[in-house]
Amino acid sequence: MTGSAHAIDVTGVTKTFRAWDRSAGRTLRHPLRRRRERRAVALNDVELHVGQGEFIGLLGQNGAGKSTLIKLMTGLLLPEAGTVRVCGLDPYADREANARNMGVTFGQRTQLWWDLPARDSFAILRDIHGLARPAWRSAVAELDDVLALSAFWDTPVRFLSLGQRVRCDLAAALLHRPRVLFLDEPTIGLDVLVKDQVRELLSRLAGTGDHCVVLTTHDMAEVEALCRRIVVIDRGRVVHDGPRDRLPGADGEPAFVVEFDGPPPALDLLTAEVVSRDGATVRVRPLPGHDRARVTAELLAAHPVRSVVYEGTTAEDVLRRLQGRAPAPRAGR
């Protein structure tokens, strides 16, 4: 990577698509009338800079521009204005070199060969990326340990369940240990246990500092568990970019109000600290690096808890407030 300390540099990027004004099209009364062409703005002067080792959440409503931005960074689309650089490369002009630096999952779109067992797809990807067999075997074993792939990796991909295929796609994206990882809804269709396993794997990746990870998802619990930085796009513009713990509108520190059936026990928690006690009610504050799900799970697993109420602004609350802030872009004709 040259000329930048960032793994990803998106500078002043604009992208539009051709659309048609259907209200001005042919009708029975006017069969020769032509529909008017217009340009729909997908991204408008977008700036995004992500350092190596960062794990960011890229959020927004459907149609906000997230997928278009991902496709620009992966080299599938070319910007009309501005520049995109990934590990110092132009993703569109240097597609082959860029592909060696990145791993990608696109929701329910598989990168595996449909009629082959998943293990054969992994072998093909090994040859495509030029991986040495010992390194490949080590990577496959590590991914199998976390994602439990070996139970079904000899089954043709077409016969896998959605959850099994998502796990295989995630493994395929990680086989060559990419410097940049784009994850579009990586846990869609997974049951709770497997989703936790995937989150644990992604949390390990975030902790190494070796991977730049961009996550797009509608699962706000996933964002709060994994992402230290949140970028929100609305109507093709970045309306928020900052640390997760400094979300706009997040007043005060988050806390949990825990009610017990009787006198509360002495709480020695790994995920939170006790702030105050009042009869059968205890208020605790999550420790750095622990999200709501982990605190709640620890409280429920080992203590006679009647209820746990979270007091604080969630990523979902902030996303609702931010949506609609960006001015509607005018479509060029």
What's the whole-number mean pLDDT along residues 104-109? 77
pTM of the model: 0.73
Lowest-confidence range among 57-71, 154-168, 196-210? 196-210
Q: Residue 247 above 50 pLDDT?
A: yes
| Percent above pLDDT 70 for the chain | 82
Distance CA 285, CA 129 (A): 46
Identify the pLDDT of residue 80.
92
Give CATH for domain 6-23+36-248.
Answer: 3.40.50.300
DSSP, collapsed to helix, strand or coil, labels residue 91 as coil
Distance CA 73, CA 9 (A): 9
Report the chain's C-alpha Rg in angstroms: 23
> Phi and psi of 60, rounded to 5°?
160, 165
Tens-digit pLDDT profile for residues 257-309: 888 887 888 888 888 888 888 888 888 888 876 777 778 888 888 778 888 88
Distance CA 322, CA 324 (A): 6
Identify the pLDDT of residue 41.
87
What's the whole-number mean pLDDT along residues 195-213? 78
Identify the pLDDT of residue 194.
74
Identify the pLDDT of residue 301.
80
Domain extents for the chain?
6-23+36-248, 255-312
Identify the pLDDT of residue 332.
44
Tens-digit pLDDT profile for residues 162-186: 888 888 998 999 999 899 999 988 8
Identify the pLDDT of residue 330.
46
> Phi and psi of 100, rounded to 5°?
-75, -20
- Beta-sheet pairing, 6-21 with 81-86: antiparallel
- Are 286 and 272 spatial neighbours (Cβ–Cβ below 8 Å)? yes
Q: How confident is the model at residue 92 (pLDDT cuts 50, 70, 90)?
A: very high
